Amino acid sequence: MTAKPDDLTTAEQIEAADKQYVMRPWTHPAGEPVIVAKARGCTITDIHGKEYLDLTAGYFVNAAGHCHPRIVEAANQQMNDVLQVSGKHGSIPVVKLAKRLVELGPKSLNKVFFSTGGSEANEFALKLARQHTKKPDVAYLENGYHGLSLGSLEVTASEKYRESAGKPLGTDNYAIPTAYCYRCKWGPNTTCKVECLDGVEAQFDARPKTAAVIAEIVQAVGGLAPPQKWWDRLDRVRKARGILLIADEVQTGLGRTGKMFAVEHYGLQPEIMTGGKGLSGGVGSLAATMAGDAYCKAFFGGTTPTSAGNAVSAAAGLALIEVLEQEKLVENCAAMGRYFTEAAWALTDPWIGDVRFTGLLGGIELVSDRENKTILGKTEISKVKDGLHADGMLITVSGLHGNVLRLQPPLSVTAAQIDQFIGALRKTLLAVRGR
């Protein structure tokens, strides 16, 4: 006899029902899935009462922390007025949020189109770029991630993810080099002449029907942040050929990198920019595709996404921006990113090969040999992940080689909480290595 919903009163019953009824089409490391009963700030509590320090911010969504009271209040107030209307019409918080995003974003962007998630926002960006240029091809960066829906998979680099489409993907999209400075084939970053981009002009010239380059300005998968001269060169090369830049700020936007948007680090002015993840402050799902006026004229979406521009999510997003500004969380993000970097290096652990943080978008790359940068084995990586999980640290493992501890806590994280993680990491690395 199966349990009815109102029979799910114990942790064991809830876990059994989760296993029976919830589709989870991916693999799970030990201790997962964590079924969360309560979340506040940087801490979540599971149905067994165990607390975790959430270094994923609810999968990179809760920039101000879980259940920030001002965001909750804004959402509650909005629910008494308007919940959802067609995107063909509008609501007050949607108009206000569009205005705030344009005010905060690059000067090259004037209009906002709302949708429901990052993959969708990127697909609309691809559609917009192709409609404007009347060209089909799009370049994306090696190691780039832009979503898991069929259209966004076309510009996502991971073969594992691409194969999940269940069919061969089209040939309109192609990869260009990214900057992986830690593993640069031409030598240390101090002597960098941006050799990794030496072939990009030829790639573009061989594909004259290229409409755009889509890129995370800082890659969330592994925390790869190119040097300024890398972006300068790519920006110059693509502009000379009339190729648009789609800046994917789904994960980097709204303070994550220590700036409101990652493009600010490089002075970039993209023709199109996308946002999502934390845009709604964790309330519902909201994403945005932004563009300059000239690029919006030819844009035809087909029709409006059903749940696009949800009024409650937009009200929460407005509250999030106020919290980021008034509580100086973007500044805290920049400071805590520096603190995290220094604390991780201070461990002087032989398995820590690189520490990469741009604000609080970061990762620690683990190696078995620091001199040769030998990738730490999957068995050891799994044990490190499991050990941290057992110690109440909620993280993900990422990176091109699957050896990067991906660390993106809420922007409200404190030095004491970072110290808590560093202590757990020290203990775990020693234990897995056998001291």
**CA–CA separation, 400 vs 222, rounded Å?**
7
- Residues in the chain, pLDDT under 50: 1
pLDDT for the residue 20: 94
H/E stretch holding 203: helix 200-206
Beta pairing class for 396-398 and 404-407: antiparallel
Task: Quickly list DSSP for 125-151.
Answer: HHHHHHHHH---EEEEETT----SSHH
To the nearest 10 degrees (0 to 180), the angle between helices 92-104 and 311-326 is 40
To the nearest 10 degrees (0 to 180), the angle between helices 378-390 and 415-433 is 130
141: left (phi over 0), alpha (psi -120 to 50) or beta: beta
**In 3-state terms, what secondary structure has residue 126?**
helix
Q: Which phi and psi (to 5°) does residue 349 adopt? A: -85, 135
pLDDT for the residue 189: 64
**CA–CA separation, 117 vs 427, rounded Å?**
38
Amino acid residing at 434: G
pLDDT for the residue 205: 98
Q: What is the pLDDT of residues 280-324, one digit of tens each?
A: 999 998 999 999 999 998 888 777 788 888 999 999 999 999 999
**CA–CA separation, 301 vs 55, rounded Å?**
36
Question: Are the beta carbons of 324 and 330 closer than 8 angstroms?
Answer: yes
